[in-house]
Amino acid sequence: MMTRTRSAYVGSLALLILLFLLPRVGSAQEAKKFYTLQESVAEAISNSWDIRQIEQRIYQAEYLKKQARADFLPRLGMTYTALYSDEPEAFPVPGGAAGPFVTSKDYYEWQGTLTQPIFTGFSLLSSYELAKLGIDQAQIQLEQAGLELALRVKEGYFDILGADKTVEVGQKDVEARESAYKVASSFYKVGMIPINELLQAEVELANSKQALVRAEIAARTARAAFNTILARPVNEPFDIQDILTYKPSGGDYESFVKEALANRPEIRAVENRLLQADQQIRLAKSKYYPEIAFNYDYIKDGDSFDVSGFPGDEDTGRWEATAVATWTFWQWGKTYYSMKEQESAKKELFQAKWALDDQIRLEVKEAMLALEREEKNIPTTQKAVEQGEENLRVSSERYKAQVTTITEVLDAQTRLSQARLNYYRALYDHNLARARLEKAIGTY
């Protein structure tokens, strides 16, 4: 009776522990994330450290614009002077009729200054426009980084699919070679085949297992690399959606080129730099003009540190308003050569833009040809798989009837495995070629 009670107690305790663990197991399974291709791109852009860096550059450019805007506004400043001498000095008394007033050895002065630039030869305006264009440039860099990251994600995504299919094909290859080895072993035991056929089957089986191990490691490596692209822990488990369909390519070369020249951030980056070059030229030309500023100063002095005046004249406060024009009109051609330097830099940008146009046209053409090539390969490789399966079936039947050797069966299996790999490679390469075409025309 006690044994039954103890057994019931242990059983109840085990059930409670199991019920306690079940939610944890379920949550662990739910934690394994599933990605589609577009979800992968979205998460990579959301998590990317490179994207975060460029966002900081946008903030920096905005702060530069605010600095440039502050240069238009009046500036306030002050100076405080303390003078000590071993002999008494004569200092003018503001508003006094008696001329200089001889005071003690100490002299103190406080001066507050307001300075408002009136005209700077357009240098302030050019600096402000350059700062605004700097924000645009950083935003273009952000867009370009997003395009490049999206392509990296897609490459990693299809690397995983290809690696998984290599494992799948490898597993089927091992199973088929194990089956061939068992048949050869049975034939050898009854003396129907020589030892070298059995050894050949055994060697091919060992090679197939080694290839499967390499494929499994490659698949794990591809997943680790994909996690890194998405800024996830390198060992974090996940699944992705397989893509076993393909869409025939559409569109013509000229329409793709037109779209690329309108969308590619590299084109807009050069155009933005051309606008910056215009401002740099105007900034260099600003040295041809005088600079005009308005100054307002309020001054107090005295023989004590609190600048409360001199004995006999307590009111020492006074103000001065001045307009100052400064013009450096001869620097041995420095301003001229500075302007010519910026004009040459602008011409260089035009050359870069034309070269970029040619490069983009070539990228679009290469992507279209790659897409066309893989599209044509898919039906061919698919047919090769069907033929390979039939060839293996016939070879296996012939071997069982002992009208051929094990070599024919092993060769048929090798050709079938290669045909399967070629089919999956063509399928994924077609999707990857489409991704590269999208990147070439500036979309993802």
Query: Alpha carbon 264 to chain centroid distance?
Result: 15
Residue 116: name the closest of 72, 66, 78, 77 by CA: 72
Pairing of strands 100-102, 90-92: antiparallel
Write down the pLDDT at residue 6.
47
Specify the residue for token string 């997943």. Answer: 223
pLDDT tens sequence across 223-279: 999 999 999 999 999 999 999 888 777 779 999 999 999 999 999 999 999 999 999
Task: Strands of 93-156 (E only): list them.
Answer: 100-102, 106-119
Note whether 323 and 296 are within 8 A (CB). Answer: no
Answer for the pair 151, 444: CB distance below 8 angstroms, yes or no: yes
Report pTM. Answer: 0.81
Q: At what angle do helices 123-189 and 37-47 cross, to 10 degrees?
A: 130
pLDDT on residue 436: 95
Residue 196 CA, distance from chain mean position: 57
Q: Radius of gyration (Cα) for the chain, nearest Å?
A: 41
Measured CA distances, 392 to 46, 101, 186, 398, 418 (Å): 48, 119, 19, 10, 13
Among the listed residues 251, 431, 435, 436, the one whose alpha carbon sits nearest the alpha carbon of residue 360: 436
75-84 β-sheet, strand order:
75-84, 106-119, 291-302, 318-326
pLDDT at 337: 95
Q: Which two tokens stand for residue 26?
A: 């379920």
Q: What angle do CA 186, 188, 191 make, to 5 degrees?
A: 115
Q: What is the model's pLDDT at position 18?
A: 44
β-pairing verdict for 291-302 and 75-84: unpaired
What are the angstrom distances between the C-alpha of 228 and each of 48, 285, 422? 9, 49, 28
The pLDDT score that the predictor gives to residue 92 is: 60
Which residues is 326 bridged to in the sheet?
291
Query: How many Å apart are CA 425 and CA 169, to the nearest integer?
Result: 12
Q: Tell me the pLDDT tens digit for each residue of 331-377.
A: 899 999 999 999 999 999 999 999 999 999 999 999 999 999 999 99
SS3 breakdown of the chain: % helix, strand, coil, rounded to 5?
Answer: 70, 15, 20
Long-range interactions of 348-356: CB distance < 8 A, separation 24+: 349/270, 349/273, 349/274, 349/277, 350/274, 352/270, 353/267, 353/270, 353/271, 353/274, 356/266, 356/267, 356/270
With cut-offs at 50, 70 and 90, classify the pLDDT of residue 318.
confident
* 55-101 per-position pLDDT tens digit: 999 999 999 999 999 999 999 999 999 988 777 666 665 544 445 55
Q: What angle do CA 31, 35, 36 make, to 5 degrees?
A: 160
Q: Which two tokens stand for residue 27?
A: 């949550």
Tokens of 389: 């399966």
Least confident window among 8-12, 216-220, 292-296, 304-308:
8-12
Which residues, at least 6 apart from 225, have a Cβ–Cβ distance to it below 8 Å?
A: 156, 159
